[in-house]
Every structure is written in structure tokens, then in C-alpha cells.
Amino acid sequence: MLAKKLKHLELTDVFIYLLGLAIVAVVIIGSIATLIQAKYALRAWFDLVLFGVTLGSIYALIALGYTLVYGILRMINFAHSEVFMSGPYIAYFVADAMSKAGLVEQNPLLTVIIIFIVAMLSSTLIAILVERVAYRPLRHAPRLVPLITAIGASFFLQYTFFRLFGPNLKVYPAINLFDASIAFGDFKITYLQIFVITAAGLLMLALHQFVQRTKIGKAMRAVSEDRETAALMGINVDNTIVMTFALGGALAGAAGVLYILVFNQVTAFIGFVPGIKAFTADVLGGIGNIPGAMLGGLFLGVIESLGPTLFLDGLGIAAPYQLKDAIAFTMLVLVLIFRPAGILGERLTEKKA
Amino acid sequence: MKAKVLFAVALIAIALVAVACAPAATPVPAFTPPADAIGTVKIGPSDPIHIAYMMVTSGADGSLGIDSRRGVEIAIDDKGGKLLDRSLKLDGQDSGCGAEPGQAAAAKLAADATILAVVGSSCSSEIRAGGPALSKAGFSVVSPSNTAPDLTDPAKRFAGYFRTAHNDKVQGAVAAQFALKQLKLKTAATIHDGSPYAQGLAGVFVDEFKKGGGTITAQEAVGPDDKDFKPVLTKIAAGKPEIIFYPIFIAAGSLITTQAKTIPGLEEVELMAADGTFSPDMYKAAGKSAIGMYQSSPDFSAFAGGYPDVLAKHQKKYNEKPLSAFHAHAYAAAMIIFAAIEKSRGEGSRWFVVHRSPSIARRDPKDEWVQGRNRHDHLRCERRLRRSQDRGVQSDRRQCEQTPDTRQAVLETVIACHCEE
Amino acid sequence: MNQPKSFWNPALKLGIIGGIAVVFIALLGMIEAFATRDIIADVIDMGRVLVFISFFMTGHFAIARKSGAASIENVLQAGVAGLVSAAFLAALMWLLSAMPTMRAVFVNATPVLLKTLLFGLDITIASIGLLALGAAVGALPAGLRFLPESPRRALIRASTWVILVGLLQELLVVTFKTTESLQGLATLLFAKTGLSIAGAVIVFVLIVAFELWRDRYGKTVRVRYDHLPTIQRRATNGVILLSLLAILLALPSILGLFFSEVLVQVGLYVLMGLGLNIVVGFAGLLDLGYVAFFAIGAYTVGILTSTSTEIAFAGGLPFWVGLPIAIAIAAFAGLVLGVPVLKVRGDYLAIVTLGFGEIIRLLALSDFLKPYFAGARGLELIPKPFIGSFELDGPQQLYYVLLVGCVIVAFISLRLKTSRVGRAWMAMREDEDVAQAMGINLVATKLLAFAMGASFAGIGGAINASKLAIIYPHSMNLLVSINVLALIIIGGMGSIPGVIVGALVLVGLPELLREFADFRLLVYGAVLVLMMLVRPEGLLPEARRALELEEFKEEEKATSAA
């Protein structure tokens, strides 16, 4: 019996590793084929990586919100994507008013600062509201119950914005703050790209310090380790959880502003895709792990931007960018085959997972 | 009689350049109500004339169907809300721009025997799944925005299905010819967003462009919810196309428009989109980048007189600019149905063929739409008449399909269309 | 009445919440959209009913926490709560008339909304009327407490039924009119829009009478049934079962085309729900990409049976040949996709399976595989099932295929649940490590769950492909997976009747109310949240789950007490 079982186990293991190797082989062969054809200039590769890093740093910022909440409550906060959307959506009305008042042209810097403040506040507020209404009453319910309320809250928020403010695309006024660019020989970086990457990096660093150094951060870590013990140690668990949601919300709001600085338009549905991507980034990096979220976000952004061209173009696959999400998810499977708990994740015990 | 038809047709705002192929009026001396229960709708003196829409009116694609529904509503207003001394009643179903909701919407409409005709659907997927049910119920269906060519392919067409929309074959060809002949470009790249509409249109463009001697450097596809098109544009830039044709929708289309010119190698490329982005929202979203780009679309400005009038009514009624290009087709569809019901009162069923003219308009730096040079006058739509009688409009939905001679007329019309397309 | 402050506080608080809610509903456009739908012709429309319900619920919650006794105090509190929320709505009215430009932000703040709220009156009179109405309707739930429980419940249920029947007027008229003998009934009950006044009275009286009868005699019937000798009881059971079966069989011809279509959709989701119930409900493996197997089933049948010339291989086989192959391939896909995620747990599994669902959809959509799957334009010309030369072409015929499918799959689920495998799944659900220590082969157990679940979805996909005659990759989206997951949890996880109830609530009901499609997903989201808050165990929970949930509630009480 035991021998039989062992044999069985081996079979599946062999299958898994073969699958992993097959993916790696396709990636390597595809990349070599693409590079040999030399259709793309070095500058193009540089640009692709740069686009990926820019988008990836936004993913990473959103991913932090998921990871913070996951660390504490062990739940996927599906409504986080709508927290991300709501900030820039509400800030749009302020930006629009400022544009009509001529402020955007006069003082673009002030405009951006105001947009940041409004968006971060709105997102924070929505995050706290969602926690209060949809999650807190279910603190001790089985895992899937808050998952369903999270999905419900996500739909509710999406369609609330959609119905309240209409189906039209909301287009931000052009903010001429980051239009210039720096050139290094053939390579060019716009101020906007520099700003997005730096801002995201600084915010992540700030969060890391906050969680490591401050008292609230310590409380958050304690609650994430063991809620009951933390409560016994005199930590107000409910407040700590609200703080976590607020922090995640503020980061999502900031990510939202970076997002509209790059893409300039909001609808009620812009949160959905980045939300899924950010959560994927979390899982890639190791869920509940802050550096992991950053790493996962950047990895995903770069794979999405670079992957289709690098891996698939050389293989002669038609319209590779249509498959960019398929590539991203395949990479996720690949990572999880070799590291089931993500790149930086520790092996989770049953209780945590 | 013919004058009356012409009058009704003239009301149709999008230019009905000519009414041709109308079979010579063969007056039917005495109307005998068909024995077929499905084909007969008894409308009493106080009953309304019930028209239904089947369009996507909610969700992210909702503006497409809402725009079309407004076209029908304006058409009803233009009729004073009355037809044959009865009030016109419009209601309908949201068909969700997908196969499943389309089929459900069709089932719901098909269950209502008071409906005379349907304006719809918005998306081709809806009618493919829902068409058989509508057809079986005996409805005439006139679509304002189905553009898939094979929907009116005689081998596949559902009985009773018509459209006022131009189809992809025409628009794709017009766009390709325009790029080749008017702009004198030799290399092109296409992007579609995985929607049936965009994929089909991009495919036709590619075929026509190659046929005309051009080279396609890349055929790319993206997702409708994508935001960052710089990677795919960077890849396209490596092929050095002179024009990019991206017949997609506003959200993605506006972003491609703004992002394309920032890509090294694409600074001088011409951009061309199609009627899916033919909306004020597009120019708002794309801002300055939209200046100088091309779009193919139905040519409203060629339709003397009527269209500005409809636009004014639209502005008054809805307090905004039209959401897309299809309200005019919907207006025409409704008017065709009304004319058919009116006209066929006590007469036989009959078919009309209507010429319409799409063209290419260019947006010039002065923000004005200038009439394009490439006139393409062979886009047709078919319409179907309904047989009715003075006392209680009794419509025969199947007559056309059942009697051999009218059936032949149907097929001739459709085949004629396809020959010219 | 000790302190005025604590007396008015809850009323004020609830009034404010209710007021915000009703203004929110108005700005969402619900009142305006629903106002086009008469409940009772020329008397009241759904938009106004919505306003009434808001006030009523405000009053209800204002006194909900207090003991059931009727008192003037309660009436006052509830009335004040209603008044306050009416004041919010009145304020909105003034704002609308004073500042029509707010429409630039809130798209539903239209003149039509104002007109609906004004009831055709002058704004001052309308405001006063609205406040009075708010107070009166708000006080109603407290006033109802003066009645004994039985008539009170009867009244509330009867009003609910009147609203429901009025809402579904259009459907019912169409259904009634298809049957010759019911035409008279239709003209009696219904006006052109909504119920006629006579119809409303009839429905109301009938329901009240029925409720009162049930309260008085319902128990007696039940007791008499319990006291029947075993043989007779079995006979009664048999008769009930048989008539149930007869009704199930006759449903499509009774209800007509559209209801059958709705039932078919519900049936498809029941199939998928039963499948996912095995994976998530029994085995505890969180799968967010369940649609992948639905897609695989659909595309297998599509490719095998289609006569399209657009794709490289189109089998042109009959549906009944395609179906078993589709089930087999879906089950195999369950195995293949299950193996790489064997070691992945919990939410990691959720996101990986979500990824699988997306990968399958994108591959079906892609230009790359277009020669095989037909890409975005859909794989078409899929034939309907035939029995002999009889084509099962409409929902009224396909219903039977689904009915048989659901019965078989439900039977298999039921048997599996109590089998050795079923117990192994549940052990694994509770604790993987312990289950393994107890000698359960995790690999085989997990893979079997994936394969079984996948094969059920494969059946659903196959039938759906044939039903639609064309399949689009767009139909295979994440929303399907989420919908299936939500319906098994709303129904009660692990419970087989729960799946059916969940599908009726989350798939059937929205489809019946498709007029209000604008609000479909909004209400869907709200319902998911509310349902989980009120009944986290689901509508028809599995006995064991219900127990666990009881524990959770106990724990909840303990923590809130502490």
C-alpha cells in the first residue's frame, strides 16, 4: 500500500516538474528565437522594461493593501480594487472644478497635491466603510463568508459609482507637470515615469518603516501573528484592523492618482483588472509579505510588458499581447510549482493558509 | 402611394439616397388574414402599436444601446407618438451584448404576442443566439448596429432579419481603400480588442489592404480593459507601419490615440479608427492627440436636411450629444418599420432596398469635420414590409417567407446586396 | 421614558441612516426607473413603493431592538425616524429644484426625478405631504404591533405579494394569455400596466385569507400527518412526490417560453453549482476559475458537433456523441489542472485557479488559436440535441435535458457525500494535515474532487453550447465562476438543496426582473453582503455547517460580551 502510494506521489511530482520544465523551455526557446531575429532595437527593450516597471510599481502599491489586510484577517479583500478606483474617481470632480477655475494651468503642482489628498482621503474612507459594514460583523465567520461579502461589496461599489455618476468616461484635465523627459543617448525617460516609480518606491519604503518602527505598526504585526494573544496583551484589535484598512486605502488612493497621471481617465470599472493583478502580485511574492508584494508587482508589470514580445514573438505566435495575462498567470503557476508559498513567502502552516 | 413612401423615407435622417428596387406596387384586392396564428397580430381600435427594442442598455456597453434606443424614441416623437391612429408603444429588453443575455431577451420578447417588430440587436452575438427564437415567433427584426457581414448571408440569415447598419465588409474595405488611395500609404498595422466587431473589421481591413497592394506589418490584439498600450505599440513600431488601424471602442481607442505618438518610431504614423469611437467622448478622452486622426463612419453630413434636425431634437430631449453613431441607424430602422406598417395597410408585403452612403471624414486641426473624398454608395440595407388592414392592423409576419414569389423577392434582394458588397 | 436624549437618539440615528439610504436610492436612479412600472394601475408605481418601503424599514429598524410590546412610545419613535428620513428626501427635492446643475455630477438628478417625487404638486405642499407620509409610514411598523401576530404577518405578506404580482404583471399577463381559459382572469386582475384595483384587492384578500387559514389550521394538518399510520404516511409522501414530479414535468408548457428559458438558465447553474459544491463545499478547495471546465465542456461539444467551415476541425457529430466526450475531457482537464496545484493551499489556490480560468478564456479568444476555436467571433453552427428526429430546439424542450441532467448529478452528489470518498473530502476540508495523518490519500482525494467537479461543469458547458448554438469566449468570464461560488454559499455550502435555492435566488430572480437590468449587479452585490450578514450559514444549510455556524454565533456573543 505504502509503496503504491509513493509511486503515485512520484507520478504527480514528475508531472508537475515536467510541466514546470516545459514552461521554462518554451520561455527560453522563445526568448532566444526572438533575440536571434533581432527585430527590436536595444532601445525598444529598454522601453519595454521601463513601461513594465512603471505599471508594476502601481500594481505593487495596490498589492500592499491586499497584503496588509490578508496579513491580519487572512481574507482576500476583493473590494480593495474598488477602494483603488474610488479615490481617483472622486478626485476627478475636484480636478474638473479646478480645471474650470483655471487652477490646473496656473499651478499644476498644487493641483496634483490636492488630487493626492482628496483621492487618498476618499479611498481611506471607503476602505474603512467597507470594513465596518461588510467585514467586522463577520470577524469569526468561516473563511468563505467574508470572501462573498467582499465580492458583494466590490460589485456594489462598482455599480454605485456607475449609476451615481454615469457611464461616461471621466477624463482628467491635462496636467502639464511631467511632460519633459531626460535622454541618455538613445534611451529616454519621461519625468512622469520617474515620478511614478519614485513616488511608489517612497510610499512603499514609508510603509515598511511604519510597520517596523511605529507602535501601530507593531500592533499590526502582533495582531497578524496571533489575534487572541495580541488582545490579551492590551492591543485594541478592532482599532488595529481599522488602521490597517485605512493604511491600505490610503496607499490604494495614492496608487490611483499615479494611475490617472499615466492613463488620464477613470470609469467605475478601472479597479477590477489592476485589483486582480495586484492580488496575483501578492501571491507571486508571498502573500502577507510586504517586500514580496513589491517584488511581485514589479515582476508582474515587467512580464506583462516584456513577456509577449520576448517569449512569444520569436515563436511566431499571432497577436502575442492578447495573451499577456495568460503569460502572467502561467508565470504564477510556474513560480508556485517550485515555490508553493510564493517567491519570498515562508511555508505557511495550515492555520495561516 | 410612391410619394408617400418617399415622404416617409425622406424623414429617415441618414440619407436615403434613393429608393430603388421597390417592386412595382401590385395591389392586393382583398386582404385575407393568414390562417397562421404566429403571423397574425390582431390590433384592436384602442390597442397600441407595439414595437420592442432589443439592445444593450446597462453595464459598460450600455451607451451603445441607449444611444440606439434614443434614435427610436426620436422617431416615435417625429410620428407624434401615433401610427395609423393608434398610439405607438415602445418597450424592450436589455440584451447585454452577449450570447446568453441575448437569448434570454429574445425569449422574453418572443413570448409577447403583441409585438409587431423589433429594433435590435445591438451586438452581433445577441442576435446569433437570440435570432432563432425571434424568427420562430415571426418578428421582423431590424438591427441598427449589427455589423457582422454573415448575418445577412442567405445561408445563415434568420427569417425576418434586416439591418440598417453598414456591415464590416463595407467599412473595412472603405477604410483600406482610403488608406491606400487617398492617403497613398503602403504599410499598415492593425489592433483589435478581441471583440467580434473589432476582430472582424480589422480582418476585412487586412484583406483589402493586401489586395490593394499594401503590406501589413503587424496584426495585434489587446484586451478591452487594457490601459497600457505602450508595450504593444513599441512592438508595432519595430515594423515601421505608416498607418495604424484600430477599430475598437472609446476607452481603449482614446488611450491608443494618446499613447501612440509618444512611442519612438511612431511619431509620424497616421492613426485611423472606426465608428466604434465615433463619439464626442472620444475626442474629449484623446484630447489633442485626436487632431489629425482618421475615422470611418456613416456619413451623416451627406444626408441633406434631416440629420441636423434629429441632432437638435436629441439635444433638446436628452440634454447631451449622441453617445455613439448608431442612433441614426436606429432612427432609420424605426422609420422603416413604421413606414412598412403604415404602407402595408391592406396591401401586400413588399421589400425595399435602400442605398446609403458611408464615407470617411477627417478631423482637421481646426476641429471641424470635413467631408471625406471617398464616397462609397453601395452600402445597402434591406427592409421588410408588413401586411395589415384598416380595421385592426393584421400583420403577416410569415407571408414573405411562405409564398414562393415573395420569398424569391427576399432572396433576390439579399443576394443583390451581397453581390455588391 | 427616562431621558429625552436616549429616547430620541435611536430614532434620530435610524432616521438619518434611512434618509441617507433613500436619497442614495433616488440618486442611483432607482426611484425614477421604477416609477415607470405601475404596481396598481393609476394608484401607485414601483418608484413610490420603494420610497414607502424605505420609510417603513426605517421605522421598523428604529424599534427593532426593543421588545415586541406595542406602545405609543414605539409609535412615536418610529414615526420620528420616518419623519427624519422623509426630511432628507424633501431636502433633496429642494436641492433638485434649486440647483438643476447638480445633474452634471449626479447623472440621475434629473427633472424627471423631481417630478416623480413631487407627485404633481407644488414643492411646498409636496414637502409637507412627504413629511407627513414619512411619519405615517414610519410609524406603521410600530402601529402594526398593536395587532396580534397572525393578522400582522398576514397583512405584511399580502402587501409583499401584491407588490410582487404587480411587478411581474407583464410576465404573468403574457403567460395567462397563452392559455385560453386564463384570459378572463388576466383581464380581471390586470390593467394595461400593473394590477387593476380589483386585482390588487383580490390578491390581497386571498393571501390574507390563506395566511390566516394556515396559522389556524396549518399545524393541525401537520399534526394529523404526523399521526398517520406509516403506510398511509408513505402513501401521502408518494402522492406528494408524484404530484411534484408531475408539476416539474409540466412546468414548461404551463409557464411558457420565457419562464422556461429562465428555468433552463437556473438548471445550468444548478449543474455547475453541484459541481463546485463538490470542490468547495465538500472538499474545501477554493476554486475561482471554475468557468474553465464549463468552457472546456462547451468548446469540446462545439468542436465535435459544429458544422462550421471556419475552424480546422469541425466534427459535425450529433450532440449525444459530443456530450460524453465533453464530460470525459472536462474531467481529464480537472485532473491536469489539479495536479500542479496539489501543494498550493487556501487563497493561493483561489488565485491560481482564477488564473486557469483566465488562461482558458484567453486561449479560446486568441488570434493564435483562432483556426481551431474560431476566436472572438464565436464558434457557430452548433446543432441542438435530437431525440430521433425530434429537435430539442427551444428552452421548453431543453428544459427536460437539464431536468434529467440535474436529477442525475444531484443523485450522484448525494451518494458521493455519504460515501467513503465523501467523508474523506470532508475530513480534508476540516484539516488537510490531520486528514493525511488519518491515512487519507490527499493526492487521489483532491484530484477526484477536481475531476468530479469539472465533469459536472462540463455537462453544463456542453448543454449551454448546444442551447446557444454559438459559443463566445466572452461568455467564459470570471463572473460565471463568481456567480457559481456565490450561489453555493448563499444556498448553504455543502448542501444540495441549497444549490438549487441559491440558483433560483441568484440566477432565476434577476432574470425574471430583467427590466431592471440597470440595477442588476448593484442589487446583486448588496444582496450578497446582506445575505451573509443576516444568514452567514446560507438559506438551506447543511446540518453540520449549521452547527459550526451556531458555534460562531456563540463565540461572537462571547466576544461582544467581553
Q: Please identify among residues 1-60 of chain C the ones whose CB lies closer than 8 Å to any CB of chain A.
A: 27-29
Is A287:A342 a contact under the CB 8 Å cutoff? Answer: yes
Query: What does the pLDDT look like over B262-273, one tens digit per residue?
Result: 898 898 898 888
pLDDT of A348 reads: 47
Question: Which cell is C465 given?
Answer: 453550447
Is C159:C151 a contact under the CB 8 Å cutoff? Answer: no
pLDDT of C105 reads: 86
Query: What does the pLDDT look like over A19-28, one tens digit per residue?
Result: 889 999 999 9
Give Cα separations from A283 to A274, A343, B158, C352, C529 (angstroms).
Answer: 14, 8, 49, 9, 25
Contacts of A158 in chain C (CB under 8 A): 521, 525
Of C108, C489, C524, the CB nearest to A144: C489
Evaluate if residue B302 carries a pLDDT over 80: no
Average confidence score pLDDT of chain B:
69
Residue partners of B391: CB distance under 8 A and separation at least 6: B45
Query: What does the pLDDT look like over B25-80, one tens digit per residue?
Result: 334 333 333 334 445 566 666 778 888 999 998 877 888 899 999 999 999 998 89
Q: Taking chain B, what is the end-to-end CA distance rounded to the nearest angstrom?
A: 30
Distance (Å, rounded) from C-alpha A105 to C-alpha C554? 60
Tracing cell 401584491 back to the chain, one arrives at C162
Tracing cell 488559436 back to the chain, one arrives at C369
Contacts of A105 in chain B (CB under 8 A): none
Radius of gyration, alpha carbons of chain B: 22
Tracing cell 451518494 back to the chain, one arrives at C415
H/E element holding C424? helix C420-430
Tracing cell 467513503 back to the chain, one arrives at C420
pLDDT of B306 reads: 64
| Closest among A121, A61, A99 to A176, alpha carbons compared | A99
Contact with chain B for residue C365, Cβ under 8 A: yes
Contact with chain B for residue C219, Cβ under 8 A: no
Evaluate if residue B415 carries a pLDDT over 70: no
pLDDT of A290 reads: 84
Distance (Å, rounded) from C-alpha C28 to C-alpha C512? 21
Distance (Å, rounded) from C-alpha C197 to C-alpha C40? 6
Q: Do B196 and C472 touch (CB under 8 A)?
A: yes
Chain B nearest C-alpha distance from A208 (Å)? 28
| Section A243-248 average pLDDT | 94
Question: Which cell is B140 given?
Answer: 421582423
Query: What does the pLDDT look like over C197-250, one tens digit per residue?
Result: 888 899 999 999 998 888 888 778 878 877 878 888 888 888 988 998 898 888
| Closest among C504, C505, C515, C522 to C194, alpha carbons compared | C515
Sign of CA dihedral B107, B110, B112, B117: positive
Q: Do A322 and B281 touch (CB under 8 A)?
A: no
Query: In terms of CA atoms, which chain C residue is nearest residue B149?
Result: C377
Chain C nearest C-alpha distance from B75 (Å)? 20
**3-state DSSP assignment of residue B402:** helix
Bridge-based pairing of strands B243-245 and B270-273 is parallel
Torsion of CA C445, C451, C452, C456, to 10 degrees: 160
Sign of CA dihedral C287, C289, C293, C298: positive
Q: Please identify among residues 327-356 of chain C the ones whose CB lies closer than 8 Å to any CB of chain A.
A: 339-348, 350-352, 354-356
Evaluate if residue B363 carries a pLDDT over 50: no
pLDDT of C5 reads: 54
B297 versus B239: the higher-pLDDT residue is B239
* Residues pairing with B54 in the sheet: B93, B120
pLDDT of B365 reads: 26
Distance (Å, rounded) from C-alpha C283 to C-alpha B67? 48
Query: What does the pLDDT look like over B338-353, one tens digit per residue?
Result: 776 765 553 333 322 2
Distance (Å, rounded) from C-alpha B15 to C-alpha B354? 9
| Section A258-276 average pLDDT | 92
Q: Please identify among residues 85-104 of chain B the ones whose CB lies closer than 8 Å to any CB of chain C.
A: 93-94, 96, 98-100, 103-104
**3-state DSSP assignment of residue C41:** coil
Degrees, nearest 5: CA angle C354-C355-C356: 90
Torsion of CA C454, C459, C460, C462, to 10 degrees: 120
Q: Taking chain C, what is the end-to-end CA distance rounded to the nearest angstrom?
A: 29
Question: Which cell is A130 given?
Answer: 467597507
pLDDT of A247 reads: 94
**B259-273, B288-302, B318-332: segment of lowest average pLDDT:** B288-302
Distance (Å, rounded) from C-alpha C444 to C-alpha C455? 16
Interface probe with C: pick from B50, B56, B108, B281, most Cβ of C within 10 Å: B108
| Closest among B171, C162, B161 to C154, alpha carbons compared | C162
B-C C-beta contacts closer than 8 Å: 94
Chain C nearest C-alpha distance from B20 (Å)? 33
* Residues pairing with C190 in the sheet: C195
Tracing cell 412627504 back to the chain, one arrives at C130
Contact with chain A for residue C152, Cβ under 8 A: no
Q: Do C525 and A152 touch (CB under 8 A)?
A: yes
H/E element holding B168? helix B168-177
pLDDT of A120 reads: 96
Distance (Å, rounded) from C-alpha B184 to C-alpha C190? 66
At residue A9 the predicted structure's pLDDT band, cuts being 50, 70 and 90, is low
pLDDT of B389 reads: 23
Q: Do C559 and A140 touch (CB under 8 A)?
A: yes
Evaluate if residue B317 carries a pLDDT over 90: no
Distance (Å, rounded) from C-alpha A205 to C-alpha A57? 12
At residue B367 the predicted structure's pLDDT band, cuts being 50, 70 and 90, is very low
pLDDT in tens, chain C (562 residues): 444 556 778 788 889 999 999 999 999 988 888 888 888 888 888 888 999 999 999 988 888 776 666 788 888 888 999 999 999 999 999 998 888 888 888 888 888 888 888 877 888 888 999 999 999 998 888 888 888 888 888 898 899 999 988 888 888 887 777 667 777 788 888 887 788 888 889 999 999 999 888 888 877 887 887 787 888 888 888 898 899 889 888 888 888 889 999 999 999 999 999 999 999 989 989 999 999 999 999 999 999 999 888 888 888 899 999 999 999 999 999 999 998 888 887 788 888 999 999 999 999 999 899 889 988 889 988 999 998 888 888 888 999 999 999 999 999 999 998 899 999 998 988 888 888 888 888 888 999 999 999 999 999 999 999 999 999 999 999 999 999 999 999 998 888 899 999 999 999 999 988 888 888 889 999 999 998 998 888 888 877 666 666 666 666 555 554 4
**A295-304, A337-346, B249-258: segment of lowest average pLDDT:** A337-346
What percentage of residues in chain A have a pLDDT greater than 90?
A: 56
Query: In terms of CA atoms, which chain A residue is nearest residue B259?
Result: A263
Q: Do A76 and C280 touch (CB under 8 A)?
A: no
Residue partners of C320: CB distance under 8 A and separation at least 6: C385, C386
At residue B318 the predicted structure's pLDDT band, cuts being 50, 70 and 90, is confident
Q: Where are the alpha helices (DSSP H) in A226-312?
A: 227-232, 237-263, 272-285, 290-307
Query: What does the pLDDT look like over B115-138, one tens digit per residue?
Result: 878 898 899 899 999 988 888 877
Contacts of B288 in chain A (CB under 8 A): 174
Of A167, A309, A319, the CB nearest to B219: A319
Residue ranges and CATH numbers for the domains of chain B are 2-165+301-358+377-420 (3.40.50.2300), 169-292 (3.40.50.2300)
Chain B nearest C-alpha distance from C258 (Å)? 5
Query: Which chains touch B (3+ CB pairs under 8 A)?
Result: A, C
Degrees, nearest 5: CA angle B167-B172-B175: 130
**3-state DSSP assignment of residue A107:** coil
HEC letters along C475-513: HCCHHHHHHHHHHHHHHCCCCHHHHHHHHHHHHHHHHHC
Q: Do A148 and C342 touch (CB under 8 A)?
A: no
Interface probe with A: pick from C101, C354, C532, most Cβ of A within 10 Å: C532
Q: Please identify among residues 84-143 of chain A the ones whose CB lies closer than 8 Å to any CB of chain C.
A: 93, 133-134, 137-143
Evaluate if residue B299 carries a pLDDT over 80: no
| Closest among B333, B13, B326 to B141, alpha carbons compared | B333
pLDDT of C1 reads: 44
pLDDT of C555 reads: 62
What are the residue boundaries of the structural domains of chain A, listed by start?
Answer: 55-286
What b/e readout covers B101-137, taking b as 16+ CB neighbours within 10 angstroms? bbbbbbbbbbbbbbbbbbbbbbbbbbbbbbbbbbbbb
Is C462:C301 a contact under the CB 8 Å cutoff? Answer: yes
Is C518:C288 a contact under the CB 8 Å cutoff? Answer: no
Query: In terms of CA atoms, which chain A residue is nearest residue C368?
Result: A318
Q: Please identify among residues 140-159 of chain B the ones whose CB lies closer than 8 Å to any CB of chain C.
A: 148
Residue partners of C158: CB distance under 8 A and separation at least 6: C203, C204, C205, C207, C208, C211
